[in-house]
Structure 1
Amino acid sequence: MKMLNFRSIGAAVLALSLLATPAPLLAQQVPAAPPPSAAEPSPPATAAVPAPAVSTAEPSATQALPEAGHAQGGVMPGMSELSPWTMFLNADIVVKIVMIGLAISSVITWTIFIAKKIELGRARIRLRRSLKQIGESRSLAEAQMALGDKHSVLSMLLAAALREAKLSAGLSSDEGIKERAASSFSEYVRAEGRHMRRGMGFLATIGATAPFIGLFGTVWGIMNSFIGISKSQTTNLAVVAPGIAEALLATAIGLVAAIPAVIIYNHFSREIKVYLELVARASGAAGRLLSRDLDRSHGSAHRARAAE
């Protein structure tokens, strides 16, 4: 009985000592939970965020940017390098020959324009001055002295009239002399018209044929483009557009060569017509001076006969 009492008393003392122990000491004895490491996986709450959806959305957005650029009028890859010179270099040999021929035709057109403008302008100014200088002349010789050594259509007409008067000296028919002189005048007028119309045939030919030559180059280029489409087995615009653009460039060059040629031809047709009217006036002036000389010579002959 005494042994049981001692054991119960010891257990009661141990329990009281444990209850009397302060709380901080218990907290120090309980091991603390380790902090979460960065290498450990995220808790289930954060794992619920759909990370793969975010990664797949970014490429789709970046892929949509070029499509948006095309929808807003952007240039497709490979199309930004298209220029007239690049299209010419990449064109077929037949289309290149057509383009070179049309370019040469355009150069010929503008060369004729510059040369004919200078020639016709100088001839018109020279003839007007000559008509003004002989306006007060009373005979062919006086008109030639007024003109001096200046070379013009009027000086040639006066020389032809004097030559006909000398060759017909002693003939009593003035009408025959005037008729032969008028025939010589018409030859000079026609020769001057032919001289001023030189180069007009080139303008007419270029204006009439250049569009068709350019169209031939276009048809040839489009035919080659269709052949390339059939070989590549694709209808992508980046493949089709360069060939068609090269073909259409031939038509554009043809129009560039033809339109100025037609305009310049019509312009010089009017200018030459005005100039030939001045030449006709010069021919009439020379005929009048010849008629005066003939009447004067007959009047002096009548006076000589009357004096006898």
Structure 2
Amino acid sequence: MSEPHLDFSVMALFWQAHWVVKVVVILLLLASFWSWAIIIQKLLGLRSVRVQSANFEKIVWSGQSLDDIYDKVGKAPANPMERIFSTGMNEWRRSFEGGTLVPGSRDRLSLSMDVAIDREVERQEKGLTFLATVGSISPFVGLFGTVWGIKNSFESIAVSQNTNLSVVAPGIAEALGATALGLFAAIPATVGFNYFSGQIGKFSRRIEQFADRFTGLLSTEFDRRGV
């Protein structure tokens, strides 16, 4: 008597898996898909931000009038450097409303720049929490699917009272597949989180240096006006 044909294709293993394992697989696939979406978006977004910010820095330090640059940037700055610059210039102009210096202008300028930096860092860190979560829990979710699949295999053996490979193999295969899928979701998410954390840290230091230099430039204007 010939052995029954065993189909170990991905779809076959999925459809014959227990509903709990199916839920685990679907969750891991969704987590992996969303992680890759964040990774691609971050790669493109950070590259664009770095280029735009570098170009704007050149304009600011080119010697052009800060007021002229601010008028060109307008009320809708397009990148972190422009937003920090607009924050500083807006506070600068508010300091001399009515033709006289508003008391406490230096402190407000410094505080507004710090808030702007924190806001930009938070903007760039958006999505990293999800990557960290996927990277840390996906292996355990996959392991849960593995344990459940092995449990079903032993139950099948007990019910059929048959240790034939055709009874045991499918459950073991689906169990190991859940573990593999958990690692498939976790590894890119972890690598992406570590990479983007480092890149955002570097960019954070860059905008802090820009803000410090720009604040110093405005402070010179305060001194020039005898403030």
TM-score (norm 2): 0.88
Q: Does residue 232 of the first structure (1) align with residue 160 of the second (2)?
A: yes
Aligned to 2:18: 92
Question: 1:214 aligns to what?
Answer: 142
Pairing 1:295–2:223 present? yes
**Unpaired segments of 5 or more residues in structure 1?**
1-62, 67-75, 300-308
Give me the whole-angstrom Cα distance separating, in 1, the residues matched to 2:91 and 2:71: 18
How far apart in 2 are the matches of 1:254 and 1:278? 36
Q: Secondary structure at the match of 2:62?
A: coil
Residue pairs, 1:141-156, within 5 angstroms: 141-144=67-70, 151-156=78-83
* Aligned partner of residue 108 in structure 1, secondary structure: helix
State yes or no: 1:168 paired with 2:95. yes
Q: Measure, in 2, the Cα distance between the counterparts of 1:229 and 1:223.
A: 10
The within-5 A match list for 1:260-275 is 260-275=188-203
2:42 is aligned with 1:116:
yes
Q: Is the 8 A contact 2:132 2:189 kept in 1?
A: yes
Inter-partner Cα distance in structure 1 for 2:169 and 2:83: 63
* CA shift in 2, pair 1:146/1:135, >3 Å: farther
Distance 2:82 2:193 in 1: 29
**8 Å contact from structure 1 (residues 138, 292) kept in 2:** no
Q: Deviations over 1:56-89 (max 9, x none)?
A: xxxxxxx9xx9xxxxxxxxx7534x212221111
Please tell me whether residue 101 in structure 1 is matched to residue 27 in structure 2: yes
Percent identity between the aligned chains?
37
Quote the offset at 1:172 in angstroms.
8.7
State TM-score, norm by structure 1: 0.66
When the two chains are superposed, the root-mean-square deviation of aligned CA atoms in Å is 2.4
Does structure 2 conserve the Cα–Cα contact (< 8 Å) formed by 1:133 and 1:146? no
| Long gaps (5+) in structure 2 | none
User: SS at the partner of 2:126?
Assistant: coil
Give 2:54's aligned residue.
128
Larger Rg: 1
Structure 1 residue 290, shift from structure 2 partner: 0.7
**1:220-275: CA deviations, max 9, x gaps?**
11111101101111212222111111111111111100111101100110111111
| Matches of 1:192 and 1:92, distance apart in 2 | 46
Equivalent position of 1:31 in the other structure: none
Any idea what the Cα deviations from partners look like across 1:153-184, whole Å, max 9, x if unmatched?
333333333333333333497xx433321110
Length, aligned pairs only: 223
Q: For 1:291 and 1:262, how far apart are their aligned partners in 2?
A: 43
Change (3 A) 1:286 1:142: farther
Equivalent-residue separation in structure 2 for 1:163 and 1:94 (angstroms)? 56
Alpha-carbon spacing, 1:244–1:255, altered in 2? closer, same or farther (3 Å): same
Is contact 2:135–2:189 with CA below 8 Å preserved after alignment? yes
Aligned equivalent of 1:185: 113
With a CA cutoff of 8 Å and minimum separation of 6, indicate the structure with the bigger relative contact order: 2
1:144 offset after TM fit, Å? 2.7
Q: Is the 8 A contact 2:77 2:86 kept in 1?
A: no
In 1, the alpha carbon distance for the partners of 2:10 and 2:89 equals 62
